[in-house]
């Protein structure tokens, strides 16, 4: 008996994933398995669903609004994810230095991420409004009135504005992960390279960036996922409008779900899953070899 316990005890480390897996299994996997089946039905959330095979998936490719939402989402992600990482890393490097007021600045920079995106969207709406917005008056008073425009009403600029706001709001989150990564770099490495006569940029190139790979990996992956799932910030700023010009996949899925296209919305969600998985796995493959090099 004792030896059994002992054996359990010494092997416990192999099963430390169990509690997490259990919790996640209950609250996500189990409902997911039930939910996925709906994608092959014509369920509308009210009447009895009928099995219709892959029809929902085929329907997607004939649905202009859905394809528009897909393009918007990709555009948003391609714009957001790199900017978030570049600025997040720059912010982290700046704020990792020993400088007076560092805590204060970090807090201020991070604070936008604390406000719920819904409210943040409304705040930006108050900033960007033509004639009545904060920015309008600031530009007017600086005699830059010609720069003013109704960006959110214009289908060609609205999404760019939303990307900018998104980057502005969540750059603090990316920064946090880079900061955590920077803590793990042993100071000796810097000292050694200093002795070798490396300048700041060289140290960045040969010490900091390679040592930051875990942080880069996390940030890029979570930003790809997060940007492709963008929902709240668009809802708050334009509700996907004007018309459907800034509608994202998540918004489209939500609207289909609570409209009477539940089966279809589930199918689109699975298509969206594929759209997210591909770039993430390409990235993870690509960095795997990098990590090996180290």
Partner 1 sequence: MKKVSILAIKYIVYGVMVAISIVPFYILFYLSVNSPSRSYFESMNLLPDWQFYNYMEAWKQSNIGLSIFNSIVITVGALVLLVLLASAAGYSIARFPNVFNRTVFIVLLLCMMIPAIIVTVPLYTLMKDIGGINSRWAMTLLQTSTMLPFAVFLYTSFIKSIPKEIEESAIIDGCTHFTAFWRVTFHFLKPVNSSVVILAGMRIWNNYDQAIFFLQDSSVRTIPLAVSAFFQKYGADWNLMAAASMIGLLPAVLLFLFFQKSFVKGITTGAIKG
Partner 2 sequence: MTRFMMYMTFISLLFFGIVGCSEGNSTNSTSDNDSEGGEDVENQEDVSLKLFTGKVETVDLMDELIADFESANPNIQVEQEYANDASNVMKVKFASGDVPDITTVITQDYMDQDRYIDLSDESYWDRILPSIKELNTDIKTGNTFSVATNVTMAGIFYNKEIFAELGLEEAQTWDEFVSNLETIKEEKPDVTPLFLPGKEVWSLGHLVEFMAHGEIKQELGISDSRKAFIENEKEKLGFSDPEGPMAIFAERLMELQDKGLINEDALTASYDNQKDAFVTGNAAMISQGMWVMGELLDIDPEVAGRIGFSPYPPLKEGSKPVVLSAEDSKYAITSASEHPEEAKKFLEFLMKDENVKKYSEAIKSPPSFTDVDADWGPIKDETNAVLESAVNIQFTDWPSGFSGDDNGRMVQELLAGKYDGSDLTEFAQEYAETWNKAWESTQ
Binding stretches for partner 2 (CB under 8 A): 5-6, 8-9, 12, 18-19, 22-23, 42, 44-47, 125, 129-132, 150, 152-155, 239-245, 255-256, 258-261
Considering only residues 107-166, where is the footprint of partner 1 by CB under 8 A? Answer: 107-120, 122-124, 126-127, 129, 132-134, 136-138, 140-141
> Cβ of 263: how many Cβ atoms within 10 Å?
26
- CA angle at 275 for the pair 212 and 213, rounded to the nearest 5°: 5
The item of partner 2, partner 1, none sharing an interface with residue 82, based on CB under 5 to 8 Å by kind, is: none
Of the residues 77, 162, 179, 245, which one makes contact with partner 1 according to CB under 8 A: 179
Q: Any idea of the CA torsion for 120, 235, 135, 154, to the nearest 10 degrees?
A: 170
* Side-chain half-sphere CA neighbours of 22 within 13 A: 5
> Considering beta carbons, is residue 16 or 201 the nearer one to partner 1?
16
Angle subtended by helix axes 262-293 and 64-95, to nearest 10: 40
Considering only residues 24-43, where is the footprint of partner 1 by CB under 8 A? Answer: 24, 26-32, 34-36, 38
- Are the beta carbons of 262 and 39 closer than 8 angstroms? no
* 91-to-75, 80, 267 alpha-carbon distances in Å: 24, 16, 39
The item of partner 2, partner 1, none sharing an interface with residue 144, based on CB under 5 to 8 Å by kind, is: none
Instruction: Determine the Cα–Cα distance for residues 254 and 69; give it in Å rounded to an integer.
Output: 12
> Considering beta carbons, is residue 2 or 200 the nearer one to partner 2?
2
The item of partner 1, partner 2, none sharing an interface with residue 173, based on CB under 5 to 8 Å by kind, is: partner 1
Q: How far is the CB of 161 from partner 1 (least distance, A)?
A: 14
The phi-psi region of residue 199 (left if phi > 0; otherwise alpha if psi is between -120 and 50; otherwise beta) is beta
Q: How far is the CB of 9 from partner 2 (least distance, A)?
A: 6
Considering only residues 54-83, where is the footprint of partner 1 by CB under 8 A? Answer: none
């Amino acid at each position: 008996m004792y030896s059994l316990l002992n054996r359990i005890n010494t092997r416990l480390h192999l099963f430390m994933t169990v509690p997490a897996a259990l919790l996640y299994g209950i609250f996500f996997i189990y409902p997911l398995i039930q939910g996925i089946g709906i994608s092959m039905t014509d369920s509308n959330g009210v009447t009895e669903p009928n099995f219709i095979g892959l029809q929902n998936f085929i329907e997607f490719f004939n649905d202009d609004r859905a394809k528009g939402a897909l393009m918007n989402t990709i555009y948003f992600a391609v714009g957001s994810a790199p900017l978030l990482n570049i600025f997040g890393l720059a912010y982290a490097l700046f704020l990792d230095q020993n400088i007076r007021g560092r805590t204060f600045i970090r807090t201020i920079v991070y604070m936008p991420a604390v406000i719920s995106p819904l409210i943040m969207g409304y705040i930006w709406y108050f900033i960007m409004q033509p004639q009545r917005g904060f920015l309008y008056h600031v530009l007017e008073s600086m005699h830059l009135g010609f720069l003013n425009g109704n960006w959110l009403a214009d289908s060609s600029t609205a999404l760019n504005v939303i990307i900018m706001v998104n980057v502005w709001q969540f750059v603090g989150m990316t920064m946090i992960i880079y900061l955590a990564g920077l803590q793990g770099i042993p100071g000796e490495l810097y000292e050694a390279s200093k002795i070798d006569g490396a300048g700041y940029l060289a140290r960045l190139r040969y010490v900091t960036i390679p040592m930051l790979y875990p942080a880069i990996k996390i940030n890029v992956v979570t930003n790809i996922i997060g940007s492709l799932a963008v929902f709240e910030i668009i809802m708050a700023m334009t509700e996907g409008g004007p018309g459907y010009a800034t509608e994202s996949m998540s918004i489209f899925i939500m609207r289909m779900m609570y409209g009477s296209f539940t089966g279809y919305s589930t199918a689109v969600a699975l298509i969206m899953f594929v759209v997210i998985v591909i770039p993430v796995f390409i990235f993870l493959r690509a960095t795997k070899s990098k990590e090996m090099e180290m």
